[in-house]
Amino acid sequence: MRIGIIGLPASGKSTVYRLLTHGQPSHQAGQLGEASISVVKVPDPRLERLALMFKPKKVTPANFELVDFAPLVKESGKPASPGTQLLPQMRQSTALLMVVRAFKDERVPHIEGRVDPAKDAATLWAELVLADLDVVEKRIARIEEAMRKGKKTESHQELALLKRCYAALQEEQPLRGMSLTPEDERLLRGFQFLTAKPSLLVVNSGEEGGASPDDLETLSATTDLQSRPIALSAKLELELGDLPPEESSTFRAELGLDASAAPRLRQACYDLLGVMTFFTVGSDEVRAWTIPLGATALQAAGAIHSDLAQGFIRAEVVAYEALIRCGSLAAARHEGVLRLEGKEYLVADGDIMTIRFNV
Ligand SMILES: Nc1nc2c(ncn2[C@@H]2O[C@H](COP(=O)(O)OP(=O)(O)OP(=O)(O)O)[C@@H](O)[C@H]2O)c(=O)[nH]1
Ligand SMILES: [Mg+2]
């Protein structure tokens, strides 16, 4: 699970990256080519509550990887050429965080010499569409060439599908919005199209709050995203995060700011990935695990370890609220809310699971 931060030069990508990774005890920062990569832990009050109940030696939150990419458009205003390292790495992200600048600051020049988040979002969007269009065009040309040479090919279906993609992209429609059969999805998966990825727009609004709710609505419309943009002041939030808690809450009150934006943004990132959480509990470790929405008990077992999936017998399952109400696993069993489920059970977000398996 990886989220890539993208945006124009000096929009505040690295500041948002630092904000999201701030105060994370062992965030394993590293390099991915030119980009920085970190593991971000996802806050979850349920995990803290379970830790109080089980008093484990170790508490392990869910996490995702976060990548701080170089700007998508070069300083000169010319688009980064698709031949660079950047695009293939961006394609490997599960989802994208698009940062646009709304803050005004004379000391930080803007490539176009003006601050206009809606225009920047449109520019960014056009870059993604162009990058996908480039891939589609090349692949179509290749298939048609092979067909002309009379090679036996089974790519007719792929060709028809790519032509649909081409038409959508020409209209600047994201591939995310196309209706696809499971077979279509299989055919397209390998291309890792950028406009097919779930994306969230972050408006870096600056100290004076540079983006109004109306601006956000316009931005929403420009980029055709499913989720509403999030406005925050990355630099200010980062600075407040460095202060002792009492001082930072005094400043927040004075500035009329809500609670810290970092946990909210971490949560929004996690939601963007289209995943859910189940928990394993015990005296050694209480841990949050990440699985796709709609995953089965067997997939959940596999997320823990492939041995658990291979030797799967049954899962003992209790919903989070039911366990909290009962106060312990023993009480939950006694009250009959701890159930035995088979491989096909559809895991619900927040389930506490114990996998029974043969070794
Ligand atoms: N005043 C103000 N300055 C900001 C804000 N966010 C970022 N900056 C400043 O803008 C400059 C660029 O911020 P970065 O976070 O490095 O931006 P970036 O998008 O990573 O930049 P590149 O990687 O060079 O494209 C830095 O000097 C930041 O301190 C903000 O909300 N307000
Ligand atoms: Mg940067």
Location of structure tokens 């406005």: 231
Q: What is the pLDDT of residues 306-338, one digit of tens each?
A: 999 999 999 999 999 999 999 999 999 999 999
Token output for 136: 């589609």
144: amino acid identity, one letter: E
Question: Cβ of 270: how many Cβ atoms within 10 Å?
Answer: 23
* H/E stretch holding 44: none
| Rounded mean pLDDT, 92-99 | 93
Among the bound ligands, name the one nearest to the CA of residue 80. Answer: 1
CA distance 68 to 54: 37
Among the bound ligands, name the one nearest to the CA of residue 10. Answer: 1
Q: Are 121 and 223 in contact (CB under 8 A)?
A: yes
CA distance 23 to 177: 37
Mutate to test the pocket of ligand 1, among 36, 105, 124 (most ligand atoms within 8 A of CB): 105
Q: Domain map of the chain by residue range?
A: 2-272, 294-357
Token output for 186: 């299989």
Which pLDDT value is given to residue 27?
55
Work out which ligand 1 atom sits closest to the CA atom of 18: 15
Task: Using DSSP bridges, classify how beta strands 339-341 and 312-318 pair: parallel, antiparallel or unpaired.
Answer: antiparallel
Q: What is the pLDDT of residues 39-70, one digit of tens each?
A: 888 888 999 999 999 999 999 999 899 999 88
Of all residues in the chain, what percent carry a pLDDT higher than 90? Answer: 52
Among the bound ligands, name the one nearest to the CA of residue 13. Answer: 1
Centroid of ligand 2 to alpha carbon of 226 (angstroms): 26
CA distance 284 to 26: 19
Work out which ligand 1 atom sits closest to the CA atom of 105: 1
Are the folds of 2-272 and 294-357 the same? no
Q: What is the pLDDT of residues 131-174, one digit of tens each?
A: 999 999 999 999 988 888 877 666 888 999 999 999 999 998 88
Token output for 316: 């003992």
Centroid of ligand 2 to alpha carbon of 208 (angstroms): 22
Provide CB contacts within 8 A for 118, sequence distance 6+: 215, 218, 219, 222
The pTM (predicted TM-score) of the whole model is 0.85
List, in sequence order, every beta strand (DSSP E) within the chain: 2-7, 30-32, 35-41, 58-60, 63-68, 95-101, 199-204, 230-232, 275-280, 285-292, 312-318, 339-341, 352-357
Beta carbon of 235 within 6 Å of any ligand 1 atom: yes
Region 294-357: CATH code: 3.10.20.30
When pLDDT is cut at 50, 70 and 90, the band that residue 36 belongs to is confident
246 by Cβ neighbours in 10 Å (0-12 / 13-18 / 19+) ranks as exposed
Query: Whole-number mean pLDDT of the chain?
Result: 87
CA distance 281 to 121: 43
Question: Cβ of 207: how many Cβ atoms within 10 Å?
Answer: 13
Centroid of ligand 2 to alpha carbon of 30 (angstroms): 15
CATH topology of domain 2-272: Rossmann fold (3.40.50)
